[in-house]
């Protein structure tokens, strides 16, 4: 496995899928800090990370900004179009792309990508096509688990740990 780009769906993968609305229609979502940290680590390991969401949400944009995700595609009902844009931008083959999704709309990009994964609480049809089904739920550690699985599968985990065990001051930046 040689993955250089990881593409994630947002709702139900990076969040638990619930959307909280206040009286003014402002949306709130819950993201997991450990998921954020592993994305930071992956970016430091030169793995590209992109998000594709079917819905538009300002919260998603804000969280992406915090995590320094440059490739955020929202309002994408045809996820394959965004996937193709990402593939061409980074000049990679589909087999170098990993895709993480949780609902039916994610099945085409999952099938096309070299590696696919989903949270434990993804819909059944998604679980059937996924190469790896996390034991964790969306928004509650699934992204952390899937990235760790990927980095370990590619033999990169030791060098991740090394940075922390050697008290590399940059590791926690």
Q: Which residues bind Mg ion (CB under 5 A)?
A: 9, 11-12, 102-103
> For Mg ion, which residue has the nearest CB?
12
DSSP H or E segment with residue 10: none
Residues ≥6 apart with Cβ < 8 Å to 67: 36, 39, 40, 43, 49
Q: Is 132 helix (H, G, I), strand (E, B) or coil?
A: strand
Backbone angles phi, psi at 135, to 5 degrees: -85, -5
Q: How far is the CB of 150 from Mg ion (least distance, A)?
A: 19
Q: How far is the CB of 82 from Mg ion (least distance, A)?
A: 14
Q: How far is the CB of 97 from Mg ion (least distance, A)?
A: 17
Q: How far is the CB of 167 from Mg ion (least distance, A)?
A: 38
Measured from the CB atom, is 139 or 160 closer to Mg ion? 139
Structure-derived torsion over alpha carbons of residues 145, 115, 154, 95, reported in degrees to the nearest 10: -150
Radius of gyration of the chain (CA): 15
Measured from the CB atom, is 16 or 96 closer to Mg ion? 16
Measured from the CB atom, is 67 or 118 closer to Mg ion? 118
Question: Strands 27-28, 20-21: parallel, antiparallel or unpaired by DSSP?
Answer: antiparallel
């Amino acid at each position: 496995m040689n993955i250089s780009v990881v593409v994630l769906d947002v709702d139900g993968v990076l969040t638990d899928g619930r959307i909280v609305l206040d009286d003014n229609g402002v949306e709130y979502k819950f993201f997991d800090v450990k998921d954020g940290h592993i994305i930071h680590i992956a970016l430091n390991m030169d793995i590209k990370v992109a998000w594709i969401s079917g819905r538009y949400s300002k919260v998603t944009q804000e969280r992406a900004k915090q995590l320094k995700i440059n490739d955020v595609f929202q309002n994408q009902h045809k996820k394959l179009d965004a996937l193709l844009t990402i593939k061409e931008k980074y000049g990679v083959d589909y087999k170098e792309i990993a895709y993480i999704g949780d609902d039916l709309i994610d099945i085409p990009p999952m099938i096309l990508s070299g590696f696919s994964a989903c949270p434990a609480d993804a819909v059944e049809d998604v679980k059937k096509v996924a190469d790896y089904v996390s034991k964790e739920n969306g928004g509650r550690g699934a992204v952390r688990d899937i990235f760790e699985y990927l980095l370990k599968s590619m033999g990169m985990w030791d060098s991740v740990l090394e940075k922390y065990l050697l008290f590399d001051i940059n590791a926690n930046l």
